[in-house]
């Protein structure tokens, strides 16, 4: 009972603006996840798009978001208008949702997906800087863990809402896209009224330099970025894990349930994982999370039954809980307040840069050498990242 009361006190101690920003993440992610899983089907079945076009669409979208996270973080430090950039980012995403219901060509979907990712790129780094500056220093991990937990809850709600709509109106993707506008619009109201100008003004703005440069950050932060890059290169697309589940005889009808279970574990473990970093040290918890990932990936390489897959997906979900909030809190620990937007921009940019080669190279290894070798190499790479973190950042 004592531990539960302590945990409840931690939740109560999270500032109200952080809770508002977390609710914004939940609503926007619910809206996004109503659309995103259906887009490939919509493009293929209704608009006749090729697989190449779908791959191009996602490549352009994610690259755009990564580049803009760097730029928007720097811009938020320069002008000191973090809440404004966060609002503009969510508003751009909100704008695309109802329009998606009325497209009649694949290139229009490409344009809307591009705008949606522009919105994500504009809002992410300023939002993280805002959370870091509003939160007490001894609760940074808990605050970011809370935000990530609600984000994952949104990722659970969205597909369930879409499935409910399609259950009564089969293949009516356009109706789902239109209804996805409701939580997106609600997120703008929560952001506008839940985060005051006073909260946003807590961040000092920094206007001395007009250049984006890592030399302005301390050496430990640069080592952290290198360790993050090494780890990201070991972090291939989750699509390979779902394929591995199929190879290990998980029935196709249970694959969505497996994916839902992963999001449940992410959501349940994010808040405790972030709070744990406030007590045990950010680097210790992050390195432990990366080692959990290494164990899970090694396990996927040698899994041979559905039971193995369900256990490994549970462990994999715990890795997210240990890492996501802790990473963001560590960025705040290693950067000055007036440069946090740039710090988050650099962090998100490094992650974005590493994502594409990680999946591409994993696919090559999987094709040439098979699952045990491919997963083992990536497990070793994540172990090296954790070792770099412990030696150079702590």
User: Residue 105: left if φ>0, alpha if ψ -120 to 50, beta else—which one?
Assistant: beta
pLDDT of amino acid 209 = 52
Could you give the CA distance from residue 77 to residue 162 in angstroms, rounded to a whole number?
38
Q: Are 158 and 31 in contact (CB under 8 A)?
A: yes
pLDDT of amino acid 4 = 46
pLDDT of amino acid 339 = 86
User: pTM score, two decimals?
Assistant: 0.85
Where would I find the H helices in the chain? Answer: 2-13, 16-35, 39-45, 51-79, 82-100, 106-134, 140-168, 173-179, 181-194, 197-200, 219-233, 239-247, 255-280, 282-302, 306-334, 340-369, 371-388
* Axis-axis angle for helices 140-168, 255-280 (nearest 10): 170
pLDDT of amino acid 59 = 67
pLDDT of amino acid 1 = 42
Q: How far is CA 37 from CA 12, 40, 159, 178, 186, in A?
A: 34, 7, 8, 15, 21
Residue 305 burial (C-beta neighbours within 10 Å; 0-12, 13-18, 19+): exposed
Domain extent listing, the chain: 14-196, 217-394
Joined together, the tokens standing for residue 136 give 């007490």
pLDDT of amino acid 2 = 46
Could you give the CA distance from residue 114 to residue 120 in angstroms, rounded to a whole number?
10
What average pLDDT values come out for the chain (394 residues) when binned by 10 residues? 60 90 96 85 84 73 81 86 92 94 92 92 93 90 94 90 87 92 96 78 54 76 96 88 90 82 93 94 96 97 96 97 96 89 91 83 90 96 97 90
Reference 107, options 97, 95, 115; nearest CA is 115
pLDDT of amino acid 197 = 61
Q: Which residue has the tokens 């490994």?
A: 312
Question: In the CATH hierarchy, which fold is given to the domain comprising 14-196?
Answer: Growth Hormone; Chain: A; (1.20.1250)
Could you give the CA distance from residue 150 to residue 221 in angstroms, rounded to a whole number?
27
Residue 381: Cβ within 10 Å count: 18
Q: Are 292 and 386 in contact (CB under 8 A)?
A: no
Same fold, 14-196 and 217-394: yes
Separation of first and last alpha carbons in the chain: 34
Could you give the CA distance from residue 200 to residue 234 in angstroms, rounded to a whole number?
36
Reference 126, options 74, 178, 181; nearest CA is 74
Torsion, Cα 150 154 157 161, to 10 degrees, reads 150
Reference 159, options 33, 32, 24; nearest CA is 33
pLDDT of amino acid 5 = 56
Task: Give CATH for domain 217-394.
Answer: 1.20.1250.20
């Amino acid at each position: 009972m004592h531990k539960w009361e302590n945990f409840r006190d931690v939740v109560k101690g999270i500032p109200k603006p952080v809770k508002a920003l977390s609710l914004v993440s939940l609503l926007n992610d619910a809206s996004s996840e109503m659309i995103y899983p259906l887009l490939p089907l919509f493009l293929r079945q209704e608009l006749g798009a090729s697989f190449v076009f779908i791959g191009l669409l996602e490549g352009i979208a994610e690259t755009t978001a990564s580049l803009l996270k760097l730029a928007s973080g720097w811009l938020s430090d320069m002008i000191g208008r973090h809440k404004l950039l966060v609002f503009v980012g969510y508003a751009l995403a909100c704008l695309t949702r109802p329009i998606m219901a009325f497209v009649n060509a694949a290139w229009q979907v490409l344009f809307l997906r591009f705008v949606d990712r522009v919105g994500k790129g504009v809002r992410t780094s300023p939002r993280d800087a805002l959370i870091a500056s509003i939160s007490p220093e001894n609760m940074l991990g808990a605050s970011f863990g809370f935000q990530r937990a609600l984000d994952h809850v949104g990722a659970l709600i969205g597909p369930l809402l879409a499935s409910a709509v399609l259950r009564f109106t089969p293949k009516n993707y356009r109706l789902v896209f239109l209804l996805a506008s409701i939580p997106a619009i609600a997120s703008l109201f929560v952001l506008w009224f839940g985060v005051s100008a006073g909260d946003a003004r807590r961040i000092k703005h920094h206007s001395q330099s007009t250049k984006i440069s890592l030399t302005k950050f301390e050496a430990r932060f640069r080592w952290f970025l290198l360790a993050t890059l090494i780890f990201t290169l070991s972090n291939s697309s989750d699509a390979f894990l779902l394929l591995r589940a199929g190879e290990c005889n998980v029935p196709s009808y249970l694959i969505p349930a497996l994916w839902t279970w992963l999001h449940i574990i992410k959501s349940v473990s994010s808040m405790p994982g972030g709070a744990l970093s406030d007590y045990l040290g950010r680097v210790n918890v992050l390195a432990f999370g990366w080692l959990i990932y290494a164990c899970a990936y090694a396990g996927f390489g040698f899994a041979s039954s559905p039971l193995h897959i369900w256990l490994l997906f549970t462990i994999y979900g715990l890795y997210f809980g240990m890492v996501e909030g802790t990473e963001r809190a560590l960025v705040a620990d290693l950067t000055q307040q007036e440069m946090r937007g740039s710090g988050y921009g650099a962090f998100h940019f490094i992650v974005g840069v590493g994502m594409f080669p990680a999946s591409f190279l994993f696919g090559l290894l999987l094709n040439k050498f098979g699952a045990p070798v491919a997963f083992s190499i990536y497990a070793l790479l994540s172990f090296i990242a954790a070792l770099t973190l412990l030696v150079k950042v702590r």
